[in-house]
Each structure stands twice: as structure tokens, then as C-alpha cells.
């Protein structure tokens, strides 16, 4: 088995090099876009089956090398593993490489190819599978630092107040940033929301006092910095009626998004609040949110204005949102 990397200024050039050296029997193992010295290249890893060469011919050609029986055994094991890997059902056509080049997650591109459906059919199907996010009374908003939890919780509270005439209590468990506490209190006063800042151990008693509210929105500290996943799991164990909303930055790479999901998926996460959506022109980088394991989107934040830049994620809107640029693909 011979494996080699080929580079080109674009995918077509790289594929031409693969075909020139390995021929039509080459198998594409991987493709990626890389940047070195401020130059962008497309690198394709390809493999081809070599003809069997007996040991005596190899020794005669290379002279100085002598292979021991145990080394031969290891090489055969590696070759067997590679054959098994290459026999997996991996998309190898141009469309697959084109979509990856444009930033579509590989597992999404692969799924569309295997199902042999259009992008509109795929998006419609995924949205239907995910269903609608329920509006639970107690919602805890969790996410990484800098995703915009606090400001968008006030947007959602305003939405509940205006659209459902609801009485909303906002609770902040994030008392780690002393300089921000005054600003948050000021926003609550201006928008006329009841607002409390409490420690984690004070949270359960506070909830018992919240029976007069239609919704209680809880701003949790940043994951891994102000609060641990284990603390959230313990909180849910004590109060199984709690529900969680995952705040995701639209510009987040799918690798880090799915890595965060692996940490929090044991929690009852009902939906996603997608922030910084105004920074996304084409839908390619956010298509990972259609993955079956990821919760449905509940709200989308499209700017800094409060509360104007908030959209309830109805399927009719999400269909257009996820098809940005895909219909021309």
C-alpha cells in the first residue's frame, strides 16, 4: 500500500496530481485546506495498492536493509488495517471534496451523498426530525465564555413579556465578574424585570419563591470557568424539573461545538440559542447544527439591539436560514 500527500493551489490541481501519479485506481483518504507562510493550499492524501514484491528483490534493490521476521509481521498487520480502513464506505467523488472546500462539515456532506437527496430535502427532513422546543418554566442558559448569554437572556425575557404577556424572573448565578454586576442590574431595571444574583447553593431556595412567575430564566457562569459540568449535573439531580438551553456562537467551528456537546449531553438540554448569526453570510459552517444528536434551535440572535435582534426559530425561517448558499451548490 502506497500513501502520499498531494498539494495544489486548488482542489482540481491537487486531484490532477493524484491522477497523474497514482492513476484512476487511487483512493482518496483525506482532504483539507491548509495555510503555510500566508499561502493557502489544498492537500489530498491518496493511496494505491502496490504490487507484491518478495523480500529477496527488495533486499537486492536496497542492499543495506535487512528485514527481520517480526518486522515483516508488523508491516503485514499495518497493511491489513489499512485495507479495512479503505474498504469503509467513504465518499470519494468531486462533489464531496467541493462541499468540504466550502466549509461544509464532512459528516454532513457524507450523509447527503449517501442519502442521494437535495440540500432542501435534507434540511427539511432534519428540521422535521428535531421538532419544536418546548417553553419550560425554569430554563438555565449554559455555554462557553463570550457566546453572549447574558444580553440574549434579556432579549428572550422581553420576547416572553411582549409575545406571551408573561411575568419573568431573571436569576444570575454568574457573580464572578464584579464589574459586570452593576451593568446587568441596570439593564434589568430599565427593562422592568425582577432580577436576582445568587450563589449556586442559594439557588434552590430562590426557586421555591418563584411560583408567581411564568418563566424563570437563569444565567449560568461560563462552562469550565465559573461552573463545572458536574455542578450542573448535581443541580439537575436535586431538581429534575430544570431544563437547559445551550448558547452557541454561530461562528464557532463544528469541532469545538461538538466537543462542548459531548460534555453537556447528559443534561436535559431542550434547545439552542444561536448567537452572532449576523456574522454568517452562508450557511456552510453552521450545518453541523442539523446533526441528529444536537438539540433544535429555539431562538436566533442577529445583532446587539435589545430586543429587536431576536428571532423565534420557526421551521419556515430555519429552512431559509440553513439553505443560504446551498441552493446554488
What confidence tens digit (pLDDT) does each residue in 18-28 have?
888 888 777 77
The per-residue pLDDT for 203 is 87
The per-residue pLDDT for 63 is 46
The per-residue pLDDT for 90 is 52
The per-residue pLDDT for 113 is 87
The per-residue pLDDT for 55 is 45
The per-residue pLDDT for 88 is 47
pTM attached to this predicted model: 0.70
Render each residue's pLDDT in the chain as its tens digit; 329 residues: 677 888 888 777 877 888 888 887 777 777 777 777 778 777 888 888 765 445 455 554 554 454 466 667 766 766 666 555 555 455 456 777 888 888 889 899 889 988 888 999 999 999 999 988 989 999 999 999 889 999 999 999 999 999 999 999 999 987 666 556 778 888 888 889 999 988 888 888 888 777 889 999 999 999 987 788 999 999 999 999 999 999 999 999 999 999 999 999 999 999 999 999 999 889 998 999 999 999 999 999 998 887 789 999 999 999 999 998 886 55
Query: What does the H/E/C string look like for the chain?
Result: CEEEEEEECCHHHHHHHHHHHHCCCCEEEEEEEEEECCEEEEEEEEEECCCCCCHHHHHHHHCCCCCCHHHHHHHHHHHHHHHHHHCCCCCCCHHHHHHHHCCCCHHHHHHHHHHCCCHHHHHHHHHHHHCCCCCCCEEEEECCCCCCHHHHHHHHHHHHHHHCCCCEEEEECCCCCHHHHHHHHHHHHHHCCEEEECCHHHHHHHHHCCCCCCEEEEECCCECCCECHHHHHHHHHHCCCCEEEEEEECCCCHHHHHHHHHHHCCCCEEEEEEECHHHCCCCHHHHHHHCCCCCCEEEEECCCCCCCCEEECCHHHHHHHHCCCCCCC
The CATH code that applies to domain 122-322 is: 3.40.50.300
Domain boundaries, the chain: 2-115, 122-322
Amino acid at each position: 500500500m502506497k500513501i502520499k500527500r498531494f498539494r495544489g493551489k486548488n482542489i482540481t490541481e491537487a486531484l490532477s496530481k493524484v491522477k497523474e501519479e497514482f492513476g484512476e485506481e487511487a483512493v482518496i483518504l483525506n482532504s483539507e485546506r491548509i495555510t503555510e507562510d500566508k499561502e493557502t493550499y489544498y492537500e489530498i492524501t491518496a493511496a494505491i495498492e502496490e504490487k507484491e514484491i518478495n523480500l529477496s528483490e527488495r533486499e537486492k534493490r536496497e542492499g543495506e536493509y535487512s528485514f527481520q521476521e517480526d518486522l515483516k509481521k508488523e508491516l503485514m498487520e499495518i497493511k491489513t488495517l489499512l485495507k479495512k480502513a479503505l474498504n469503509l464506505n467513504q465518499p470519494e467523488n468531486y462533489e464531496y471534496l467541493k462541499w468540504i472546500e466550502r466549509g461544509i462539515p464532512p459528516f454532513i456532506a457524507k450523509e447527503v451523498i449517501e442519502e442521494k437527496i437535495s440540500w432542501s430535502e435534507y434540511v427539511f427532513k432534519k428540521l422535521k426530525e428535531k421538532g419544536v422546543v418546548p417553553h419550560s418554566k425554569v430554563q438555565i442558559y449554559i455555554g462557553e465564555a463570550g457566546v453572549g448569554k447574558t444580553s440574549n437572556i434579556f432579549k428572550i425575557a422581553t420576547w416572553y413579556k411582549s409575545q406571551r404577556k408573561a411575568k419573568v424572573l431573571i436569576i444570575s448565578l454568574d457573580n464572578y465578574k464584579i464589574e459586570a454586576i452593576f451593568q446587568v442590574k441596570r439593564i434589568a431595571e430599565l427593562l422592568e424585570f425582577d432580577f436576582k444574583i445568587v450563589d449556586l447553593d442559594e439557588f434552590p431556595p430562590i426557586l421555591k419563591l418563584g411560583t408567581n412567575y411564568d418563566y424563570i430564566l437563569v444565567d449560568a457562569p461560563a462552562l469550565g470557568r465559573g461552573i463545572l459540568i458536574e455542578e450542573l449535573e448535581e443541580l439537575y439531580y436535586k431538581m429534575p424539573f430544570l431544563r437547559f438551553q445551550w448558547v452557541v456562537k454561530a461562528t464557532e467551528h463544528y469541532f469545538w461545538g461538538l466537543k462542548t456537546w459531548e460534555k453537556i449531553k447528559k443534561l436535559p438540554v431542550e434547545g439552542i440559542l444561536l448567537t452572532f448569526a449576523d456574522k454568517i453570510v452562508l450557511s456552510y459552517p453552521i450545518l453541523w447544527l442539523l446533526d441528529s444528536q444536537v438539540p433544535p434551535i429555539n431562538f436566533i440572535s442577529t445583532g446587539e439591539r435589545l430586543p429587536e435582534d431576536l428571532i423565534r426559530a420557526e421551521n419556515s425561517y430555519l429552512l431559509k436560514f440553513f439553505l443560504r448558499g446551498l441552493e446554488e451548490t
